[in-house]
A and B are shown apart, each in its own frame.
Chain A
Amino acid sequence: MSPFRSCWRRSFIAGLLAGSPIQLGVMPFGIVYGVIARSLGLSLAASQGMSLIVFAGSSQLMFLDLWKEQVPLAVLIGTTLVVNFRHVMYSASIAPQLGPQTGIRGLLAGYLLTDEGYGVSISRFLSCPEFPFDKYWFYIGAALPTWIVWQISCLAGALAGSFIPQGNEVIAMAAPLVFLSLLLRVVRDKPNIAAAVAAGTTAIAGAALPYKFGFILAVFVGVIAGCWAKASKDAHLGRKEPA
C-alpha cells in the first residue's frame, strides 16, 4: 500500500472524528425544518430536495418563512443568497489551506462547505502548525457528518410532520422561535443590537406594505443601522482602522 493511500484514509477518519460531536446541535434544526416544510404543504420530495440542492440550514428555514409569506420570487432568491454570503468568507479562508482544487474534488469541497465543517477544520488547521494529516481529506471527513445528519434529520422531521395537521398554529410558531434563538446568539454587541432593533421596528411598521416591501426595507434599514452603530462605536473608541 503506497504511503499516499494510507494517508488519505487516516486523514479522512481523523476528520470524521473531529466533525462528529457538533452534530447534536445540527439535529434540532433539521427536524424543525422538516416539520415546518410539511406544515406548509410541501411534499417530502420538495422538502428533502431543498436540503439536498441548497444544503444550508439557516437559509433553508428563512426560505420556508419567506415562501409562506409569498414574497416575490426575486426577493426570495435574493435574500436567501445574501444570507449565504458568509460562505464566501469561509471559502476564502479555507482555500489556501486546502490548496487549489479542480474538478470533482473541488466541487465536493465546495458543496460540503458549512459553518460546522469550516469551523472544525479551520480551527484544527490554525492550531496545529505541523498538521499531521492531508488537509483536503481531513476537511472532507470533518464536513461530511453535517451533510449526513442534516439529510437524516430533515427527513425525520418531514416524516414526523406528516402526522401533524397542516397549518397547525403551534407548529407555525416553531420557525419564529428558531429565528429568535439564532437572533439572540448574534445580538451580543451594540451594533448588532442596533441592526436588529432597527430592522424589527421597520418590519412591524412596514408589515402592511405590498410585495413584502416592508421586509426588504427592514433588512436595508437594519444593515445601515448596524454599519452606522459600528462606525460610531469605532469613532468613540478612537479607532482609525475598522476593527
Chain B
Amino acid sequence: MNGYWLAIIVVGIGTLCLRLSFVAGGERIKMPIWFRRAIAFVPPAVLASLVAPAFFRGGPEQTLNPQQALTAVAAAFVAWRFRSDILTIGVGLALFYFLGKL
C-alpha cells in the first residue's frame, strides 16, 4: 500500500495539469513535430508491452501456455472482427475458464 496513494495523487495532479494545459488560458507551448508523432505511438506500444507477456510467457522456461495463447488468439480474432469490448472480454474469459477445465 505504501506508495499507492502517493502515486495516484501525483498522477492525478499531473493528469489535471495536462488537461488544463491550454484550457486555463496558458501560453501556447510549441511541441516539436517529432515529439507529437512519438507520443502517438505510446498507446500501442504500452498496450502491446502489457498484453504480450501476459499471454505469451517468455522467461526461463520459455514454454508457451496453451490455455493463455489460445485465449489470446481467439480474443484477438473477436476483437478484430467484431470491434466489441464486451464481446472480446466475455469470450476471452469464458474460453480461458473452459480451457482450464480441460
Contacts and interface: CB of A to CB of B under 8 A. Distances in A.
Task: Report whether chain A binds chain B.
Answer: yes
Interface of A: 25, 28-29, 32, 42, 46, 49-50, 53-56, 58-59, 62-63, 65, 67, 73, 76-77, 79-88, 90-92, 94-95, 98, 100-102, 106-107, 109-111, 113, 169-171, 173-187, 191-192, 195-208, 214-215, 218-223, 225-227, 230, 242
Identify which of A84, A98, A176, A223 gathers the most chain B CB atoms within 10 Å of its CB. A176
Interface string B28-67: 1001011001111111111111111111111110000000
Contact of A200 (B3, B48, B83, B100): B48
A82 to B, nearest CB: 6
A186 B47 contact: yes
B65 to A, nearest CB: 11
B14 A181 contact: no
Given A73-B6, A106-B20, A208-B59, A226 B85 contact: no
B54 A176 contact: yes
Interface of B is mostly: helix
Contacts of A84: 11, 14-15, 18
Interface string B81-94: 00101101100110
A191 B44 CA distance: 10
Contacts of A176: 50-51, 54-55, 72
A200 B43 contact: no
Contacts of A81: 11, 14-15, 18
A19 B31 CA distance: 30
B88 A181 contact: yes
Interface residues of B, number: 67
B102 interface: no
Contacts of B100: 169-170
B48 A222 contact: yes
Contact of B58 (A73, A82, A204, A227): A204
B51 A170 contact: no
B52 A85 contact: no
B58 to A, nearest CB: 4
Contacts of B43: 58, 83, 86, 182, 186
Nearest to A99: B25
B47 A196 contact: yes
Given A77-B10, A79-B46, A219-B46, A185 B41 contact: no
